[in-house]
Amino acid sequence: MYANLSVLSYYWYCTVLSVSPSSGNTPIRTRVSCNPQGDFIFQTVHNDIQKTGGSSFLTEFEFDPTSDSGAQQNYFVMNKCDQYFQSWTVWGASFIDSSGNILYNILSQFNRPYAYAIAGTPHLMFYDRNHTRCFTLKYIIDLTINCPFEMYLPEMIYPRPNGYNITLTCGLESTVNLDDSNLIDIYSTNLTSNGCMRIVNICRC
């Protein structure tokens, strides 16, 4: 009776990387092994949750963020999490050096925009980190939800106040959250129709 209130916790690591070079491009054996394994893991978790109800949480993953191969695998995992609207937390990575300085080159790998709260049914979430740095979200609006849609939009990527452009459909409007400038609140208006497939697109200027 509590299945729809439960959360499945799972990990994802690819052992192939343990024998891969620590620098340079991702080896072919890594791409042909790790990525299909990752695809299978995410699809299997998704299928299981469809049967059992509840939700899922990738509570542990991390590939060496100081190497090119590790960084590429970190991006792969987070892209998969976006594809499946999957919560995640990284394990083991240090974002501060021994002197207490922030390691921005590592932090930047994991700092990305995402839908914080969606007032409707999500259909697509995608962040183009490698090229445009644009973020796209599609979801069907549910006007019975009286809370605004909230999106995490890190100032490191989209500087305030004029470092980004936001495009909205379905008569929606946006504003910066008063309590946290990294959050964008998006509201419906009298021009917003229930069930509209809303598209949010945000790009850096």
- For residue 186, the cross-strand partners are 149, 174
pTM: 0.87
Report the C-alpha gap between 176 and 153 in whole angstroms.
10
Mean pLDDT of 167-193: 93
Strand (E) or helix (H) holding 141:
strand 135-141
DSSP 55-122: EEEEEE----TTSHHHHHHHHHHHHHHHHTT-EE---S---B-TTS-B-HHHHHHH---EEEE-SEEE
Mean pLDDT of 93-103: 91
Per-residue pLDDT at 139: 96
Contact 203, 134 (CB under 8 A): yes
Report the topology of domain 114-204: Immunoglobulin-like (2.60.40)
Report the C-alpha gap between 36 and 163 in whole angstroms.
37
Domain ranges of the chain: 3-109, 114-204
pLDDT at residue 169 greater than cutoff 90: yes
Report the C-alpha gap between 62 and 28 in whole angstroms.
20
In degrees, to the nearest 5, what angle opens at C-alpha 70 toward C-alphas 158 and 103? 50
- What are 20-47's pLDDT values in tens digits? 444 445 555 555 678 888 999 999 999 9
Contact 81, 113 (CB under 8 A): no
- What are 141-151's pLDDT values in tens digits? 999 998 889 99
Report the C-alpha gap between 54 and 79 in whole angstroms.
22
Per-residue pLDDT at 148: 87
Nearest to 110 by CA among 132, 88, 126: 88
Report the C-alpha gap between 81 and 79 in whole angstroms.
5
- What are 43-65's pLDDT values in tens digits? 999 999 999 999 999 999 988 89
Per-residue pLDDT at 30: 56
Range name among 2-6, 94-98, 192-196 with the lowest pLDDT average: 2-6
